[in-house]
Amino acid sequence: MPYTEATLQLLSTDGTLVESDRTAEYRALVDRLTDDHLRLFYREMVTTRRFDIEAGNLQRQGQLALWIPSLGQEAAQVGSAFATRPQDTIFPSYREHSIARIRGIDPIHIIELLRGVTNGGWNPNDSRFRLYTLVLGTQTLHATGYAMGIQFDGKVGTGDQSADEACIVYFGDGSSSEGDVNEALVFAQSYQTPQVFFLQNNQYAISVPVVRQSRSPLYLRGEGFGIESYQIDGNDVLISYAVTRLAMDEARAGHGPRFIEAQTYRLGAHTTSDDPTKYRESSEEDYWKQRDPIARFEKFLRFRGESDSFFEQVRQEGEELAADIRRKTVELTPPPMDVIFDHVYTDAHPVTAAQKKWLQEYEASFGGQA
């Protein structure tokens, strides 16, 4: 199974904290988290999962062309997202739904992408959560270039962690084979950019198992480029938070890039268009269900004395979110046709202007009878 000697973990599958010299500095960070922090971690994981299930149902009911579930990857995402500071910039792939929510984006905007309403969805300069990127791995280079811009601006390594910036980029085990990811690692290490590469190894690139991408653990890829790299139990929200927190601090301090491989598992399909029963055994899914990130964290919180009413309250919040998304989804309307032409260019452009005018006149020629 994918865990190795190198895998860092704080929270065991039975919900108890693991003591180890290797994780002492991470444990210290987690010990500083308040009950409210821990509740927030739980709340984001649970409500996002409920949203995710609802979106899958909406797709099955014909309301969405496609859905991209993140089931099972909540701990890797939520922990690492809470490790960023507000001034940090996040470059997602396309499955980071909980991180979008943590950055204040109403998940209906993610739904809009899958319902064919927009190719964007939100203003990334407001949220510092960049747009989803569908061509695998391309966003790693954008993150590296952005991080070079942070360096040009002198916003790194000043010693003030509340002002210095870094960015974090998410990608997967499949993407790790793309040339762009490897070029991003070259540039990042060469220019010592303030950024964290966060690889969610969910074990499959659609149907192809990770062993086809790499015969050795993927965190060694980072090391091969000379970048300090870590492998973590990606279903442990506490280690995800703590390792990313320190890596981002190092990046902001001007110590160069860091690479984190989070071992996790895509409990659902790659997207609603594939069928995992064709390429994996149910015994494997059972293995990972035993390691479910939410169940594990819930046990931990119960050991700490969290009340039933809290869990019931979060469950209820998830239901409300799901109902809200369902209502908003069916109320979405198609965008105006001007969206085809507007913003293809920033400056005035004669071709898009002429074609926009032509289409308006063509549509008007039907007198509303088209």
Partner 1 sequence: MTENLSMAKAINLGLQRAMREDDRVILMGEDIGTLGGVFRVTEGLKNEFGENRVLDTPLAESGIVGTAIGMAMRGYRPVCEIQFDGFVFPAFDQIVSQLAKQTSRHQGTQSFPVVIRIPYGGHIGAVEHHQESPEAYFAHTAGLRVLSPATPSDGYHMIRQAIQSNDPVIFLEPKARYWPKGDVDFDATPAPAHQSRVVRTGTDVTVVGHGAMVAMLLDAAEVAAGEGISLEVIDLRSLSPIDYAPIIASVEKTGRLVVAQEAPGQASVGSEIAATVAEAAYYFLEAPVLRVSGFDTPFPPANLEGTYLPDVDRILDAVDRARGF
Torsional sign, CA 185, 192, 147, 243: positive
**What is the phi/psi pair of residue 235, to 5°?**
-95, 10
Q: In angstroms, give the least distance from the CB of 73 to partner 1.
A: 24
140-159: contacts with partner 1 (CB under 8 A)? 140-153
204-233: contacts with partner 1 (CB under 8 A)? none
Q: Which is nearer to partner 1, 181 or 210 (CB)?
A: 181
120-139: contacts with partner 1 (CB under 8 A)? 120, 123-125, 130-131, 133, 135, 138
The region of 40-48, 217-225, 229-237, 349-357 touching partner 1 under the rule CB under 8 A is: 349-357
DSSP letter string, 173-189? TTGGGSHHHHHHHHHHH
If one asks whether residue 75 binds partner 1 (CB under 8 A), the answer comes out as no
Residue 368 Rama label (left phi>0; alpha psi -120 to 50; beta): left
Q: Catalogue the long-range contacts made by 360-363 (C-beta closer than 8 Å, 24 or more residues apart).
A: 363/337
If one asks whether residue 180 binds partner 1 (CB under 8 A), the answer comes out as yes
d(CA 108, CA 101): 10
Between 237-252 and 24-31, two packed helices, what is the crossing angle to 10 degrees?
100
Query: How many residues of this chain bind partner 1 (CB under 8 A)?
Result: 43
Q: Which of 40, 63, 157, 183 binds partner 1 (CB under 8 A)?
A: 183
> Pattern 259-288, binding to partner 1, x per CB under 8 A?
------------------------------
If one asks whether residue 344 binds partner 1 (CB under 8 A), the answer comes out as yes
Q: Which is nearer to partner 1, 138 or 161 (CB)?
A: 138
If one asks whether residue 349 binds partner 1 (CB under 8 A), the answer comes out as yes
If one asks whether residue 32 binds partner 1 (CB under 8 A), the answer comes out as no
3-state secondary structure 100-137: HHHCCCCCHHHHHHHCCCCCCCCCHHHHCECCCCCCCC
Q: Which is nearer to partner 1, 65 or 344 (CB)?
A: 344
If one asks whether residue 254 binds partner 1 (CB under 8 A), the answer comes out as no
d(CA 218, CA 259): 10
Q: Which is nearer to partner 1, 15 or 145 (CB)?
A: 145
If one counts every other C-beta atom within 10 angstroms of the C-beta of residue 110, the result is 25
Give the CA count within 13 Å in the CB-facing half-sphere of 183: 11
Contacts with partner 1, residue ranges (CB under 8 A): 118-120, 123-125, 130-131, 133, 135, 138, 140-153, 179-180, 183-184, 186-187, 190, 339, 342-347, 349-352
